[in-house]
Every structure is written in C-alpha cells, then in structure tokens.
Amino acid sequence: MLDGRHALVTGGGRGIGRATAARLKAAGAAVTVVGRNRASLADAVAKGHATAYRLADVTDPDALGEAVALSARTHGAIDILVANAGAGEAAPFLEADAAQFRRMFELNVLGVVHAARCVLGDMTQRGFGRIVAIASTAGLKGYRNVSAYCASKHAVVGLVRALALETVAAGVTVNAVCPGYVDTEMTVETIARIAQRTGRDRKDALGGLLRGNPLGRLVAPEEVAAAVLFLCSTEAAAITGTTIAVAGGEV
C-alpha cells in the first residue's frame, strides 16, 4: 500500500505516534520517528515499529530541519508527514497564565508548522505528499479546565484547513485526525492529575473523562493509526482540509 514511501512521524516514540509508525511500516513505508526521548525512539526501531529515528524537539525549527534533512538523505524524500508531537496542560482559565498558552501554542501549533515547513517544498515539487496532523476533539469542541490546550488544537484544525487550500493543486493533501481520550501514557497522567486534584480514585476519574462518550471506553492508539493510514493512501487523494474524529461518537 505504501511501498517505496518514506514517512516521518513526530513524537513517534510512544502512544499514538508509535502506533502510527508501526501501522505505516506494516503497510510498506520506511518510517523515521522523531522525538526527544532516545530510549523510546530506539525501542521503536528495535521492535520493528520504525525504520530509523532522529532526535529533535519540534519546537526547535533548526534541529528539526536538520533531522528531516538527514532522514531524507538516508531513506529518500519525505512523502508522508504525521505531525503527532504534542502535550496537554490543565488549569481553570483564571489559573492558566499566558506562559501556559505560549507553551501549548509552541508545541501543539508551531510544532506542526515547523514540521510542515521542512517537507512541504519538496512535496509540492514532486507532486505528491500527505500531511496528517494529530489534533484532538479539543480542536472541535470545548472542555472545562483546558482552555489553553483547546485553543491550540483549534488552531491546528484551522491551520490544516488553510494549508490544504494552498497545496491541493500540487498533489499534496493536509488533514487532521481528532481523537478523543486515547489509552496512552498521556491519558494515564491526566487521570492521575484529576485524581490528585479532586481526591477521587483513578477509576472514578476515568469515569468522569468517559461520561460524555457514547462508546464508553478509551480509544485505542491503533484505531487512531488506522485513520491516519487511510489518509496517507493514494485512495485518499480527494480528501483534504478535513478532520476525522476518532472519538466513539463524542462529536
């Protein structure tokens, strides 16, 4: 399905990024995972979930550019970018200072911007490219106590919609996948913070997260990866500027 393609996945050492890298590699792509944690990235390669890894922080455009350039020289031009790196911070709005908003914007929005800038020129010249940003249902609706995170993910969705219009004539598609709460380390950390802040046990904290989800469970990382794989395929050439919610009917 993706034989001969080279995919680059940011934040590819764990969670959604790791599952996506594994799915793309299983479909025939050479996959480079990028991130800050050498151990998790190396483990992804050792276990066959990725072809190679590069260390880079997506908030550092120079370091990221160097990592992408080295990857392209080693495994060929980047055909697919999955801009997955991101994080969340929680606080009621009046406790969320400007610094929190800046951190969320730097990582969740400019991380996508920097990665896209690294690959888009070459994609448009070659007439093929797939860019998939991992956003969130927080980019489609609001949630209490995560205003900075919601604002950043709404910005990612807006970026995708605008960039898609600029690139569609060049054979490049740009889309977003918007998961709900996913069974990852990030969600485990979120549940722990909720439990600590509220005094509830972790089971009750998880129940609170799932209360608005008709599916009644966390989304599996592999379910998100399956949506990404489809958007990266040749069959998805007419799909651009859109969002796919993998959220069990929440939105």
Catalytic residues: 149
Residues 237, 161: contact at Cβ < 8 Å? Answer: no
8 phi and psi angles, rounded to 5 deg: -120, 125
Please state, in angstroms and as integers, the Cα–Cα distance from residue 50 to each residue in 22, 73, 115, 245, following that order: 6, 17, 18, 25
Q: Which of these, 54, 63, 241, lies nearest to 161 by C-alpha position?
A: 241
CA dist., res. 96 & res. 166, Å (int): 34
What is the Rg, in whole angstroms, of the alpha carbon atoms belonging to the chain? Answer: 17
- Which residues are CB-neighbours of 86 under 8 A, at least 6 positions away? 11, 107, 108, 111, 134
Could you give the dihedral angle defined by the CA atoms of residues 206, 209, 213 and 215, in that order, rounded to the nearest 10 degrees?
-20
Residues 69, 77: contact at Cβ < 8 Å? Answer: no
Length of the chain: 251
